[in-house]
Chains A and B, each alone.
Chain A
Amino acid sequence: MKEMNIMVVGVGGQGTLLTSRIIGKTALNCGLDVKLSEVHGMAQRGGSVVTFVRFGEKIYEPVVEEGSADMIISFEKLEAKRYAHFLKKDGIIIVNDCKIEPMTVVIGSAEYPKNIIEDLSKEHKVYSIDGKKIANELGNPKVLNSVVLGFAAKYIGFDKKDWLNTVEMTVPPKTIEINTQAFNKGYGE
Chain B
Amino acid sequence: MMPGSAIGRHLVVEDRENRLQQDASSLCINKVEYGDKKIGFITSGICYQYVKEAFPNASVLKLGLVNPLPKKLIEEFAKNVQTIYVIEELEPVIEEQIKSWGINVKGKELFTKQGEYSSNMLKKVISGKDDKVFAKSESPNRPPILCPGCPHRSVFSVLNKLKIHASGDIGCYTLGAVAPLSVIDTTVCMGASISMLHGIEKAKGKDYIKNWVAVIGDSTFLHTGINSLVNMVYNKSTGTVIILDNRTTGMTGHQEHAGTGKTLKQEETYAIDFRTLCLAIGVKNVVEVNAFDVKELEKTIKESVNNDVLTVIIARAPCALLKGQVFPNKCLTVSENCKKCGMCMKIGCPAITKNEDGTINIDSSACNGCGLCLNYCKFDAIKKVERV
Contacts and interface: CB of A to CB of B under 8 A. Distances in A.
Interface of A: 11-12, 41-42, 44-48, 60-63, 65-68, 78-79, 81-82, 84-85, 87-89, 101-107, 109-113, 123, 141
B137 interface: yes
A47 B144 CA distance: 4
Main secondary structure of the interface of A (DSSP, over half): loop
Contacts of A44: 147, 321
Interface of B: 46, 49-50, 52-53, 118-120, 130-137, 139-147, 172, 175, 178-180, 251, 321, 345, 348, 350, 352-354, 365
8 contacts: A11-B142, A12-B144, A45-B175, A67-B133, A87-B133, A104-B142, A104-B179, A106-B348
A139 to B, nearest CB: 13
B141 A104 contact: yes
Contacts of B354: 106
A41 B253 CA distance: 8
Given A45-B146, A66-B120, A85 B135 contact: yes
Nearest to A68: B131
B120 A102 contact: no
Main secondary structure of the interface of B (DSSP, over half): loop
Given A46-B147, A101-B353, A60 B49 contact: yes
Given A45-B175, A46-B350, A102 B134 contact: no
Given A68-B131, A87-B133, A61 B118 contact: yes
Given A85-B137, A102-B140, A106-B352, 18 more contacts: A12-B144, A45-B144, A46-B142, A47-B142, A61-B53, A62-B49, A67-B133, A68-B120, A81-B137, A84-B137, A102-B143, A104-B142, A106-B350, A110-B140, A110-B141, A112-B140, A113-B140, A141-B365
Given A47-B143, A107-B345, A67 B137 contact: no
B248 to A, nearest CB: 13
A5 to B, nearest CB: 11
B141 A102 contact: yes
Contacts of B49: 60-62
Most buried by B among A84, A88, A103, A112: A103
Contacts of B119: 60-61, 65
Contact of B140 (A46, A63, A89, A105): A105
Nearest to A67: B131
A48 B98 CA distance: 41
Contacts of A46: 142, 144-145, 147, 350
A60 B133 CA distance: 22
Given A45-B172, A67-B130, A109-B179, A81 B139 contact: yes
Given A45-B172, A65-B120, A103 B134 contact: no
B142 A106 contact: no
Contacts of A48: 141-142
Given A45-B175, A112-B140, A66 B145 contact: no
Nearest to B137: A81
B135 A65 contact: no
A67 B141 contact: no
A105 B119 CA distance: 35
B171 to A, nearest CB: 11
